[in-house]
Every structure is written in structure tokens, then in C-alpha cells.
Amino acid sequence: MTPLIELSGISKTLKGQGAPRNVLSGLDLTLHSGQSVAILGRSGSGKSTLLSLIGLFDRPDEGRYLFCGKDISRISERRAARLRSDEFGFVFQRFFLLKQLTAAQNVAMALVNGQGWLSRRKRRARIMAALDQVGIAHLAKHRPSRLSGGEQQRVAIARALVRAPRVLLADEPTGALDTETGNLVVDALHASTARGCGLILVTHDHDHAERMGTVLRLGEGKLHQAGPRVRA
């Protein structure tokens, strides 16, 4: 089957105020539908840079990016924005929930752009299904201030899932949570793969990484299989 994502020979140099830094160099990655991949790596190794390339927030300097077999390495910003909202869901360490809105209304925000044609009833059904998928349908009417950190992160995951993305990208989604709460969040993310979603989880937590089907480590600009010693 054609992979969802195929990266080959990806290189990226970041130019900031200091000297330019070659963060990724000749990186390869394949992600299939229903596959879950954890990415470990020390701080500054380029994990967030990699996710921003995959999520089309930025473009590689070199290399090829195939999405569902189509070369999107050099697509326009307009097409990138379209793909980003149609095919990708994003979850970050910070939840970015609007505090004056309920859980359901926060999830609804993801349907405002592009999918306004859905009837009210269909929209409501999709929102409730997304909340149910992460186990918090009963909290639909709660505002973030009445939710725990783990519950808030699950609202953020429901918001990412409500448009049925093909790929879910999570950058340290458990960074602000204790291990036990983090486990619930990782389970909620992992559940999306049962519906064929591809999942990439960037984490510093080895236990969370272990729950993914594939565990990789980013180092020297490339992804390596995380060996048992690294995974211990």
C-alpha cells in the first residue's frame, strides 16, 4: 500500500541570529496508515523542526516529501495550507483552548473554516464523536477551567481529530502532564490509529514512546531505530 508519508534525503538548515545550523541532513521516514511512530531525541536535535516540515509549516532545503504518493516537496503555500487543514491534526504541549468556550465549542472551532457546510446536527454529531473517541463526551459542556490538564489535552486531541485527519502530529503532548495522566493522553492519541490515522508522537518519555508501534531516535540530523538500550 502507498505510504501516507515518505520522506527521503530531507535536509534543513535553520538561520537565526547566530550561525546557520544544519538541523536535518539526509533524513528518511516512512509512515503508513494506522502506524504509530514515536520520535525521541535530545533537546535541540530537531524534532519540532521535523514536525513543522511534515505538517507543512516549513519546507525542506533538500529532499523529497511524498504525501499519499504525491510529491509535495515544492507546493505553493496556498496548497500547503489546504493540505494542512484537510489532512493533518496537530497537538502541542500547550493545549491552546479558548477558556470562555466549552469543550464542545472548542472542538467546534476546528470545523469553522472550510466545513461550514455541515448541518448543525451533523456538526454536533461529529463533535460528540470526537469527544467520545478520547473518552470525555460527558465533559462536553465544561469550560477548560473545570477540566484537569489531561482532560484539557484530550479536548485538544478531539479538536485535532474532528476533521478526520489522515495524520496526527503530536509534539510533546504530555510535557505538561504527570506520567499517569500522560498515559491517558497517549492512549487517546494511539486510539486514532485504529481508524487508520497515522500518528507521529514526539516525546521525551520512554514509557510513552514504548506504547507506539515504532520507536525512532533523532540524532545527527537523521532518524535511527531506537535500540533496546536506548529504549530502556
Question: Rule CB under 6 A: which residues touch ligand ATP?
Answer: 14-16, 21, 23, 41, 43-49
Among ligand ATP, Mg ion, none, residue 46 binds (CB under 5-8 Å by kind): ligand ATP
Q: Between 108 and 216, name the residue whose CB sits nearer to ligand ATP.
A: 216
Q: Between 48 and 183, name the residue whose CB sits nearer to Mg ion.
A: 48
Length of the chain: 232
Which amino acid belongs to residue 142?
A: H
- The answer to whether residue 33 forms part of the interface with Mg ion (CB under 5 A) is no
- The answer to whether residue 52 forms part of the interface with Mg ion (CB under 5 A) is no
* Distance (Å, whole) CA 139 – CA 136: 5
Q: Between 139 and 212, name the residue whose CB sits nearer to ligand ATP.
A: 212
Which residue's beta carbon is nearest to the bound ligand ATP?
16
Per the CB < 8 A criterion, the answer to whether 11 and 187 are in contact is no
- The answer to whether residue 93 forms part of the interface with Mg ion (CB under 5 A) is no
Q: Which residues of 20-29 are buried (b: 16+ CB within 10 A; e: fewer)?
A: eeebbbebeb
Q: Give least dist CB 173 to Mg ion, A.
A: 12
Q: Give least dist CB 174 to ligand ATP, A.
A: 13
> Could you give the C-alpha distances from 74 to 26, 27, 53, 81, 85, in angstroms and in order?
17, 17, 12, 13, 18
Q: Where are the beta strands (DSSP E) in the chain?
A: 5-14, 21-31, 36-40, 62-67, 70-71, 88-92, 167-171, 198-202, 214-219, 222-225
Size of the site for Mg ion (CB under 5 A): 2
**33, 48, 181, 183: which one binds Mg ion (CB under 5 A):** 48
Q: Which residues bind Mg ion (CB under 5 A)?
A: 47-48
